[in-house]
Structure 1
């Protein structure tokens, strides 16, 4: 995969080009994302940069790295408000804390579209993302089916208080209710981090020798960290049922190797869909330029007026994994 160039910036990166729209200046859009350390948000951000309106110069885009800190994201909103950005795309780290930032933008008359993770605010223009309850259920159901609805599992959670952690856990627990003979031995956050997940899994393997049958990782990075811990303990990943979410590159390789299951979260559709929707909010004459609306006919554009756009999940299988890997080249 082409790596996103951070160009040495710590909190933001900007992409600007000469305006070609009817107005004198391009529309200025800020994208406040919770963090750029992991591959998924890098894919999301790169897809935003590749949106036709950005590439043509219709839009001047600035991507802000929230560094996994709600206060940093709040400060970035204040910067965008002060600099009079035309529109904001928000990927919050905290479902509750992010509401203050949305309120400030609304007070300044700046439309905000949520993407990927949710914020508890009715002031968003719209939300473009995927149903995390559904993905949490899907991944847990895979693990439970693999172990025959009997045995012991552990759950690696995302950052506590982020919408994906809350909703994916809800889906995890829905699936677990269908298998009353399965015990959750451990459940703890690893903050979407491969390294933190590896440490947790190492501890759990020591605390529960020969007892863990399945690993429910609420994202791929954490599932991959668990795999590294399993290998480090001299065990084979294929002796465990392991699942994650996102479809990052290393997870695709692990699916191909038979080490885990994953569900693709379409970062490109979420990012480019959010930009189309927020541009419509900023300019009523705008028509969508991304091809994602043709890609997902069950998610119609509806003149950019819907409150929520739900991007479907795609289970990663041996039949589609090579094609997905090729897209990362």
Structure 2
């Protein structure tokens, strides 16, 4: 996979220093474009190698990590782009997010802003949404991103098997129907779960991952349970015993344009499981709180930018999922390239 896109190698940005915070698809494409244009680029990331969720969350059978590593190699070896791994960029108040296991140093964003001609924030979505129901703090309740991160990190040799959730021989319920739910269910099968359910509040036709992805899992033995909403996770001895579900029917469209699930009174039932994986989505994880360094955030944590990727702080830009919320690889790369061009124009005028 190539991350140097839309650039004719040149020296128009020679002498300009750019910091890219985050090495996912948006950050890598931006680093590739700016490095190709002659800038000196430092890429900061909390992970031990570039790639973000491409390397550390997506199962290898869906995206071979060697494809990512090949593209990263081109960026780092062809241009003056430097990767600074295991370094988390933080603001005044640090917040723990998923994927923080490998951090060895912390870098203050204010210092980065002072040292570089331009800064790009591309830190993605490393925080899972909470279910907001009783029992989600029981043992053997995992967040999909954390589960996928640990399984993949083990596969890459960064974690030991003892550091990965042990679900062998256990009954697993995955809540949600996006791509992270699909990935969590498929990895649970590979980790020898005895039974895997996907629980979704709408029907297979509304599944964010797409009906075809769900049907592939069904063919592999995953049980699809639709039109249900979890009420609570039930425990015994501090660990998961079952999920209490309530059946739903579809009502009028909600703000997403999809039919709203309406609980059916008195339809509660229990599904006995040993493990629950929360896969209802992720939230943007900017390195700062709203207003720090004059950078404004939206209520869900997204970095607020104009149409060209400029934040409310001059010289600081943002791209990718930290701006848009969770998206697919292609749109994140496209946005990273668009904002990189904005940065190049800005540097040419300063």
The structure, 1 or 2, with the larger RCO (C-alpha pairs under 8 Å, 6+ apart) is 2
Return the TM-score normalized by structure 1: 0.33
Higher strand share: 2
Structure with the greater alpha carbon radius of gyration = 2
